[in-house]
Amino acid sequence: MTPAARLAAAIEVLSELSTGHQPADAAVSAYLRSRRYIGAKDRAAITSAIYAAVRRRARLDWWLSRAAFDRRDARAQILASLVLADGLDPAAVNALFSEAPYAPPPLDAEERRLVDALSGQPLAHPEMPPAVAGECPGWAHAELAALFGSGTDAELTALLGEASLDLRVNTLRYDREQAGAMLAERGIACEPTPLSPIGLRVSGRQPLSRDPLYRGGAIEIQDEGSQIVALLADAKPGQQVADFCAGAGGKSLAMAAAMGGKGRVVACDVQQRRLARAKDRLRRAGVDNVEPRLLSSERDRWVSRQKGKFDRVLIDAPCSGTGVWRRNPDARWREIDLPDLLETQDRLLASASRLVKPGGRLIYATCSLLPSENERRVEAFLTGAAGFHPMDAAGVWAAAMGTDLPASAAEGPYLRLTPARHGTDGFFAAVLERAGDDHG
């Protein structure tokens, strides 16, 4: 494909994103899957152009407004990105938009005026509001600024970067050193993750889905932060464990491996599609102590029947996803009903806590950085729930893993991981213990 044809493809996918409800990764995958004739280099270039525009959306729109350009469509954003971020001059831009086969149509008079107005300007401008400069929606910026203070810019900048490719080694099959050596033999360079004792960080992008270790369930793609949350549950062999919002089962698999395949993990979710994916992963990993359980809601009758039976209950709650904006850069611009999410989180805590046996632990986690979804939800739960108290997350980790968490990851009794401080996705976790004499 010519550079112009790649550009036309990027504009087409961005246009679909603006009118549809698919996440960017799904839209890009669907587009490329239906055009298998597109080569690997072209696919990479198209994908890069799409994600570059998505990651710059607020700043590009700010410049479009400043240039008094009314349209906010994919073509306008690509034009602005070419000039402001890639530094193309008007002649170079005009050459890409032409009557040539498969090229995007030539610029009209208003587009030429826009290109001239933006030419020579930087993408970042000192007059940009902080939320625009940080590509952060207004509903989240105030809360993040209050949380991080002088470190806000660094955190928002880190959220604009690309996420690392982390693997969790299935310790039922191999240890980390063995898996790393086997990957290295096939030219896949990786190094141990700094915090998770079962993680590997891969250098660059690799076609892991075709690797024998992946196909055989010996490795799973899982961010280091997600691994840490699963390990913080400190699930032990022989215990009864509930993963209350299991999704596709990543943390269920991690806990099952930590238990040495002994005991029972119930992977609960309200979506059959997610549990079907979990079943495939369980089969591939050779895990037979995980039981998928479809729930009608968080108050399914099964919860009442299982009251007080579990040593560990993990709630990886639905949330705004502010901590995973690196992986899902378009998610920051989706409409979020935050009050509804907070109510859902409260309901999950209230219902799932019933499963915890006396002396057992409830682990509440999100991939959000917002205190309103994290410590405030925990504090609200503790206000109304008798018999639970927070454990020191750093102490739990040290006792379970024999290593220390970075001091920056411990905020009071809670765990908070961020891309800027720890190189992981943003995660929050609280470990709450039920008193041993509570039979309520």
- Please give the radius of gyration of the chain, using alpha carbons only, rounded to the nearest integer: 24
- Counting runs of H as helices and runs of E as strands, what totals does the chain give? 20, 13
Per-residue burial over 205-230, b = 16 or more CB atoms within 10 Å of its CB, e = otherwise: ebebeebebbeebbbbebbbbbbbbb
The residues near 334 (Cβ < 8 Å, ≥ 6 apart) are: none
Q: Is 367 a catalytic residue?
A: yes
* 289 residue type, one letter: N
Q: What's the rounded Cα separation, in Å, for the pair 82 and 6?
A: 13
For 156, which DSSP code?
Answer: H
Name which of 411, 309, 428 is nearest 364 in CA terms: 428
Say whether 31 sits in a helix, a strand or coil.
helix
Q: Which residue out of 136, 190, 245, 367 is catalytically annotated? A: 367
Cβ-contact 230, 255 below 8 angstroms:
yes
Q: Where are the alpha helices (DSSP H) in 89-207?
A: 90-96, 109-118, 130-133, 138-148, 152-160, 176-185
Do residues 51 and 24 make contact, with C-beta atoms less than 8 angstroms apart?
yes
CB 415, CB 427: distance < 8 Å: yes
Cβ atoms 129, 357 nearer than 8 A: no
Find the length of the chain.
440
Active site residues: 367
